Amino acid sequence: MKKSLQYNFCVLVLVLCGYLPVSAQQDPLFTQYMFNGIALNPAYAGSHESVSISALYRNHWTGWNDGAGDTQTFSIHSPLNDNHVGLGLTVMRDKLWVTERLDVLSNFAYRIHLGKGKLSFGLQLGARKFSLDLSKLQDVAKDLDPLLSDVNSTVFNFGTGVYYYSNKFFIGFSVPQLVRNKFDSDDLSVKEDRHYFLSAGYVLGNWGSVKFKPSVLIKAVEGAPISYDINAHFLFLNDILWLGASWRSYNSLNWMAEIIIPKTNLRAGFSFDHDFNNTTRGLHGSSVEILLNYRFKLNKDVPLTPRYF
């Protein structure tokens, strides 16, 4: 029964995406976006003032035993010697039932000093391979329409962003894909919509070894309602342990924990999302996310400064 529900839901999604002008969140969703900023904004490249490598794994809707989908992201970025230019590379794979996309993105950022912080302008160039394999729907797709065909195509895109940050504050705006590409087959047409991201955060106070860091992410897609994440972290033990939570606008409560391994530059993070929407709880279930980040010194004589985002 559960498996049949999953397949029928997939088919419904395919019909909506293929034949009706529906707009929705198409880009992968991240709970720990504040530690993986380059996945949302190319202007983030080089902002860690070091060679920064991140790997993220997200399992969507763990209540679905047959594997609703997952996301894997690998990124590396670094400033150049003069620190005005940042370069980055991101590889992202996102799988959702019968659909799969692979992004390879290059990022360029140019930074200038402004007040107590730096203002960065970013440009992103990349390619996306999108595939839709209807054979995975088994007999359900055949019952719906035996003439439906797969989609398998590659497109190119570019995006831009701006990012201002200091030691304890950041604000950024980005449009990662400006071109509204189409992925077509003989029977289906899937169009990309532009996504707009606005994010900001601040580190408040210093009560002994405890700090408080609120942040927010606002997401907009053309033709769809605006959504947002409101986040709050408490930093303990001189910034070694981070505990926090976030509320996503469609009734998802997310728990987060981060730890910076003492005497290393390694950060490990974990998040758990739980859906409180009575209408979709049976479909969405919960999601988990694991993040690893490591920073390499560019100059062995200069210590790495703490990064709060």
| pTM of the predicted protein model | 0.85
**116-126 pLDDT, tens per residue?**
999 999 999 99
pLDDT of the residue at 130: 86
pLDDT of the residue at 73: 95
pLDDT of the residue at 281: 47
pLDDT of the residue at 68: 63
**186-196 pLDDT, tens per residue?**
556 667 888 99
Residue 136 Cα distances to 11, 64, 97, 215, angstroms = 11, 15, 8, 40
Beta strand 85-96 with 69-79: parallel, antiparallel or unpaired? antiparallel
3-state secondary structure 45-100: CCCCCCEEEEEEEEECCCCCCCCCEEEEEEEEEEECCCCCEEEEEEEEEEEECCEE
pLDDT of the residue at 12: 44
Between CA 217 and CA 191, with CA 54 as vertex, the angle to 5 degrees is: 55
What is the full per-residue pLDDT of the chain (309 aa) written as tens digits? 444 444 444 444 544 444 333 345 567 778 898 888 999 999 999 999 899 999 999 987 665 545 567 899 999 999 997 789 999 999 999 987 778 889 999 999 999 999 999 999 999 999 999 887 766 665 554 455 555 556 778 899 999 999 999 989 999 999 999 998 876 665 566 678 889 999 999 998 767 779 999 999 999 997 788 999 999 999 998 889 999 999 998 778 999 999 998 888 899 999 998 877 655 444 456 789 999 999 998 777 767 777 888
Separation of first and last alpha carbons in the chain: 44
Name the 3-class secondary structure at 14. helix
**267-300 pLDDT, tens per residue?**
999 999 887 765 544 445 678 999 999 999 877 7
- Beta-strand ranges (E) seen in the chain are 51-59, 69-79, 85-96, 99-114, 117-132, 151-165, 169-175, 182-184, 189-191, 195-202, 204-207, 210-221, 227-236, 241-248, 252-260, 266-275, 286-296
